[in-house]
Structure 1
């Protein structure tokens, strides 16, 4: 019996997860498989019922449009997935019970861990977007003491999301259009501060409208993080690098969340002794 996991969604052909997990299985010398499986909304219940009875199935990653729909079909949901309000990973126990988890928040936070190990007087994050990715981003950052400015095309939706996810913090909701035009605002002394700008929206992705963010809104010495993976080098990251700012690309989050899921599925940490250089080459080939 060869253990396997998979990624489900509709569509699913675009998923990079089989390449990533296949690479780690090979490097770890594990006799296992990671597959992709097209699952429609109508077939989701039958799919999970079949997998419950399959002792070789370790679980699956969940992509659109099932991250919300799977929740009532599971036996339990972890506190983190409950807080974020979405499931992106399902795990099967030996008795066939299914647990929903979310690896997006820890995956997003992984490349920021070296920075977060340093002390700061204040941490502020400007997060652009109010969709599923933004929910994980806001949850992860709030847990690390960030004050969040959440920008959306509908500021009321941004406010509601903050009130739901982080009701006890002094966070702010603004109109995304606020960042479109240049500003002559003079930022104060940022010594001892950690500023983060995150594009958690699909704006700037291939086939999507561009992200309207003028670089003048980005504080000096900020870290600019774009969760988009297609393209990897988004216009936002190119402009930030040209301005001398530190950047983090979407592959970092993809690999980070995948590493968490791999450990959950196969019981070992993936081998990453080359700083993911070979994996990045495979994912962008």
Structure 2
């Protein structure tokens, strides 16, 4: 029986077992996917001992994504450019391989839910400068976005992010930092607005941004999935804008890992979405 896991601290909130065990049952695979609570400072040692623990691979959630990249013997371009790894697997030679599927998950979901997001190749405004923003900026750049605007409450953090994409040394040509106080003005020319922060999550304050100037055909995406419809998405819907919630990103980012560990490429279906959404109290 093949076994995989998700590690984090804390890890109880993770919906990954719901996704992967659903696919295991659907495809009749003799395998399991488990949660492992790994304290800070112990992630690299844990990942280096996956084989001894009986695992063929792992997902990694906060705060261990940087440690996951450091622990890998082999990492791909996405992991290096994003500076973190969330999916690891052991190859036949026993080497620990790493990738980051967050950008893939976001872009696959965006293309599925709003295929006209890049119509006219207008600027994209990304809110936030954390690890999720880094992955999404990378995905949008690779996905054909002509110009990316980055706004964060702390400008210095946004400036640091723009210069830290590893081999992508031309970063400054495709990302422009926007002062936080200018965010409402910046949306006026955008075809896509993306919230990569935790603002709007259950228990958190909503994202403070005025959508009045956002073009009528623009898309608003939020990576938050609890709740599924955040205050930002509610405001966008009320103005008739196309919206993309964060659950699809979570589902699509899981696909490559499952394929690596269990040998079957699963599909993200409405049934899977409903299965995971039910755990959030949404439909």
Please report the TM-score for the alignment, with normalisation by the length of structure 2: 0.88
The separation in 2 between residues aligned to 1:43 and 1:186, in whole angstroms, is: 42
The separation in 1 between residues aligned to 2:153 and 2:188, in whole angstroms, is: 24
**Structure 1 equivalent of residue 87 of structure 2:** 89
**Structure 1 equivalent of residue 241 of structure 2:** 245
Larger deviation: 79-88 or 66-75? 66-75
Any idea what the Cα deviations from partners look like across 1:116-135, whole Å, max 9, x if unmatched? Answer: 58984323211000000000
Report 1:39-54 matches (<5 A).
Answer: 39-54=38-53
**Structure 2 equivalent of residue 141 of structure 1:** 140
Unaligned runs of 5+ in 1: 189-193
Please state whether the residue corresponding to 2:201 is helix, strand or coil. coil
Please state whether the residue corresponding to 1:111 is helix, strand or coil. helix
Report 1:189-204 matches (<5 A).
Answer: 195-204=191-200
**Structure 1 equivalent of residue 182 of structure 2:** 178
1:160 correspondence with 2:155: no
Number of residue pairs the alignment of both structures matches: 275
Please state whether the residue corresponding to 1:69 is helix, strand or coil. helix
1:216 to 212, 218, 226: 212
Please state whether the residue corresponding to 1:142 is helix, strand or coil. helix
Any idea what the Cα deviations from partners look like across 1:52-93, whole Å, max 9, x if unmatched? Answer: 335x52211101111112222221211110001111111111
The separation in 2 between residues aligned to 1:118 and 1:221, in whole angstroms, is: 9
Please report the TM-score for the alignment, with normalisation by the length of structure 1: 0.88
The separation in 1 between residues aligned to 2:176 and 2:66, in whole angstroms, is: 26
Larger deviation: 86-95 or 109-118? 109-118
**Structure 2 equivalent of residue 151 of structure 1:** 151
Any idea what the Cα deviations from partners look like across 1:160-184, whole Å, max 9, x if unmatched? Answer: 322333525343101233336xx6x
- Does the Cα contact within 8 Å between 2:117 and 2:219 map onto a contact in 1? no
Unaligned runs of 5+ in 2: none
